Amino acid sequence: MIATLCDSQLEAIIFGVTEIMVFKRASGELGDAILAKGRADFATFFAWLESQLGGRDWFNGDAYGMGDMAVLREALAQARASVTATAPPPQTC
């Protein structure tokens, strides 16, 4: 489930933010509004991920697995895009 949501939801947020930040698809008020929404969406998604992680070290239980790989890939993409969410990424990243 985590991998699917990262691939469908989080990747879409990263794509939208990258379109503004890298390719300058919008600027001014519109660009600022889109980036603000993207940052808010990142914060919401990473807070949800943190709640799914609970006190565990890994999303898949006792060992590193597909869910952890999906989160790591998207968290690295977020970092490369220099998008700062108000919530930190999960501890496994």
> Which CATH number does the domain housing residue 70 bear?
1.20.1050.10
Q: How many domains does the chain have?
A: 1
The answer to whether residue 86 is domain-embedded is: no
User: Model's pTM, two decimal places?
Assistant: 0.74
Q: Around Cβ 79, how many Cβ atoms within 10 Å?
A: 12
Confidence band, pLDDT 50/70/90 cuts, at residue 37: very high
Highest-confidence segment of 26-30, 78-82, 83-87 = 26-30
How much is the pLDDT for 44? 92
The answer to whether residue 87 is domain-embedded is: no
> Which structural domain, as residue segments, surrounds residue 58?
2-80
**Has residue 84 got a pLDDT over 60?**
no
Contact (Cβ atoms closer than 8 angstroms) between residue 92 and residue 53: yes
Least confident of 17-21, 39-43, 77-81: 77-81
Task: Round to whole Å and give the CA distance between 22 and 27.
Answer: 11
**Has residue 90 got a pLDDT over 50?**
no
